[in-house]
Amino acid sequence: MRIFSIVQKIFSTVVILLSVESFAQGRGQIAGLDRWVNRYAEMQTVLDDGQPWTFENQLTTLALGDLHGDLNAFLQVLSQMDLIDSETGRWKGAAMNLVLVGDLINGAGQSRSLLTYLMQLQNEIHASGGYLHLLVGNHEIEVSKGDEDKMPQRDQREFTEHPIDGESFEQIEDVFRSPNRYTKFLSQFQMMIKVNGALFVHAGIQGWLMINRNLPGAINSTWRAWQRHWSADRDKRRAERPPRETRWIFHEEDGPAHLQDFRLNQRPRRAIQQNQFEYLMNYLGADYLIKGHNMTPDERIQIGHPELGPRVISIDTGISEAKGGRISALLMDRQKGIAEPIYFNRPGRSKFKSIRERIKLAIENRCQVAL
Ligand SMILES: [Mn+2]
């Protein structure tokens, strides 16, 4: 056992050295590359399950920051942009890429309504020829692994008030730690995607991308493996447990949904440097990184970063009423080659009542009723 683990260690070190070398070849060396990558040597992923993480099309992209349980704010964006019918909530827009960068839940008390609505909207957007891309934020991870105390009472009540798939759950942990339509939906979320050259991730990227096989596809697969484990039936849970070395995905302060390196001020001491960041972006063939997670100080979409350069776009403007910032969206037009921030007024509480009634019906009737 001991010898095996030593052999394994030597093997993985060789693999890391080889992958760093092939990484550096033809891309120009950067100072301290080996030291930087060594920090991440223990961080591994599961094997890539083959689900795509890059998407190329001619469509316009609309990206929204952290919604934190505010369905009304989301509806405000969609209806003001004439993408949905403001009575029924049905998609009526042209085909587009709609990207939500994670932290959809926990805050304004409409987490369950928002997830339920997104399930329906996803079908309608697909039917229009477009894509709905949903990313994992640290809040989705927290509830999935069993830290429901981060979920405000009003968001918890929305889940525990009504049965799920015919079964009543008294405890919020039963919702995210069992097979049901919400956990099934969460298993489709991604940690990192690239849409028309723009890389989307909840919090940011770091040197772990350079460790052997830790590419976005494998990182997405690792989230799915853990999420399957957490939401499996009790008897299956143990059997489907992913390897320990992949826990950094949700535990480490360095993880893609947790790191603080891309804050606009007060970055951590060992935060990623601009040359390292540029290196990773070139490696992934990405022009821009679009992220949420840290509210921008002026509650406006920030194009460019004071220390990391012009390729970082921060779109968490505190959209949720629980955060009290600005409702915003970033519109990217491929043909025109522009990225345009758009801002919206906060809707009154009674707005979109008929859509919310329909969603409530869908919840109570276990999604048998079309929205
Ligand atoms: Mn976050």
User: Which domain, by its residues, includes 328?
Assistant: 2-364
Centre of ligand 1 to C-alpha 147, Å, is 14
pLDDT at residue 366 is higher than 70:
no
- 98 forms bridges with which residues in the sheet? 62, 132
Could you tell me the distance, in angstroms and rounded to a whole number, from the CA of residue 86 to the centre of ligand 1?
Answer: 29
Residue the block writes with tokens 């007060």: 266
pLDDT (0 to 100) of residue 1 = 42
Residue type, 1: M
Helix, strand or coil, per DSSP, at residue 180: coil
Tell me, in angstroms, the distance from the centre of ligand 1 to residue 316's CA: 9
Confirm whether 371 is domain-assigned. Answer: no
Predicted confidence at residue 25, as pLDDT, reads 46
Q: Which pLDDT score is estimated for 8?
A: 53
- Which pLDDT does position 316 carry in this prediction? 98
- Expressed in angstroms and rounded, the spacing between residue 235 Cα and the centre of ligand 1 is 31
Q: What is the spatial distance between Cα 338 and Cα 318, in angstroms, rounded to a whole number?
A: 23
Q: How far is the CA of 191 from the centre of ligand 1 (A)?
A: 12
Q: Whose structure tokens read 């970082």?
A: 312
The type of residue at 172 is: I
Task: Specify if 195 maps to a domain.
Answer: yes
- Give the predicted TM-score (pTM) of the model: 0.90
Q: Please check whether residue 185 lies inside any domain of the structure.
A: yes
Write out the DSSP string of 116-169. HHHHHHHHHHHHTT-EEEEB--HHHHHHHHT-GGGS-HHHHHHHHSS-BTTB--
| Gap from CA of 116 to ligand 1 centroid (Å) | 21
Cα atoms in the 13 Å half-sphere on the side-chain side of 80: 16
- Render pLDDT for 122-142 as a digit per residue (tens, 0 to 9): 999 999 999 999 999 999 999
Task: Flag whether 209 is in a domain.
Answer: yes
Q: What is d(CA 190, CA 223) in angstroms, rounded to the nearest whole number?
A: 8
DSSP state of 46: P
Contacts of 304 (CB under 8 A, 6+ apart): 310, 311, 312, 313
Nearest partner of 130 among 62, 52, 53, 221, judged by Cα = 62
CB distance 135 to 201 below 8 Å: yes
Confidence of residue 30 (pLDDT cuts 50, 70, 90): confident
For residue 266, being part of any structural domain is answered with yes
322-364 pLDDT per residue, tens: 999 999 999 998 777 789 999 999 999 899 999 999 999 888 8
End-to-end CA distance of the chain: 56
d(CA 331, CA 319): 16
Question: Would you state the structure tokens that stand for residue 328, as one six-digit string?
Answer: 């915003």
Q: What's the pLDDT at 187?
A: 95
Measure the CA dihedral 183/184/190/195, to 10°.
-140
Place of tokens 């349980």: 69
User: From the CA of 295, how far away is ligand 1's center (Å)?
Assistant: 9
Contact 192, 54 (CB under 8 A): no
Mean pLDDT of the chain: 89
Residue 157 exposed, middle or buried by CB count within 10 Å (0-12, 13-18, 19+): middle
Q: Which residues pair with 327 in a beta bridge?
A: 344
Q: How far does residue 108's CA lie from ligand 1's centre (Å)?
A: 15
Q: Which of 313, 315, 297 lies closest to 65 in space, CA to CA? A: 315
The confidence score (pLDDT) of residue 214 equals 82
Residue 84 DSSP label: B
User: How remote is the CA of residue 233 from the centroid of ligand 1, in Å?
Assistant: 28
Q: 203 vs 126, 133, 225, CA distance in Å?
A: 27, 16, 20
Q: What is the pLDDT of residue 150?
A: 85
Instruction: Give the list of residues 6+ apart from residue 345 with CB closer than 8 angstroms, or none.
Output: 76, 327
**Structural domain contains residue 130:** yes
Q: Please give the distance, rounded to the nearest whole angstrom, from the Cα atom of residue 181 to the centre of ligand 1.
A: 23
User: Percent of the chain having pLDDT more than 90?
Assistant: 72
Q: State the distance from the centre of ligand 1 to the C-alpha of 292, rounded, in angstroms.
A: 7
The C-alpha atoms of residue 224 and residue 231 are separated, in whole angstroms, by 10
| Cα 148 to middle of ligand 1, angstroms | 15
What is the mean pLDDT of the segment spanning 87-97? 96
Report how far ligand 1's centroid is from the alpha carbon of 262 (Å).
Answer: 12
Length of the chain: 371
Q: How far is the CA of 323 from the centre of ligand 1 (A)?
A: 12
CA pair distance 81, 344, nearest whole angstrom:
10
Ligand 1 mean position to 2 CA, how many Å? 39
Domain count, the chain: 1
**54 lies in a domain?**
yes
The answer to whether position 62 is within a domain reads: yes
Give me the residues paired with residue 57 across strands: none
Å from CA of 110 to ligand 1 middle: 17
Q: How far is the CA of 202 from the centre of ligand 1 (A)?
A: 7
- Does the structure show a pLDDT above 60 at 15? no
Q: Could you tell me the distance, in angstroms and rounded to a whole number, from the CA of residue 232 to the centre of ligand 1?
A: 25
Q: Which segments within the chain are labelled E, that is strand?
A: 54-55, 61-64, 97-100, 131-134, 192-195, 198-201, 288-291, 302-305, 309-314, 327-333, 338-344
Q: Residue 336 C-alpha to ligand 1 middle, in angstroms?
A: 31
Question: Tell me, what CATH number does 84's domain have?
Answer: 3.60.21.10
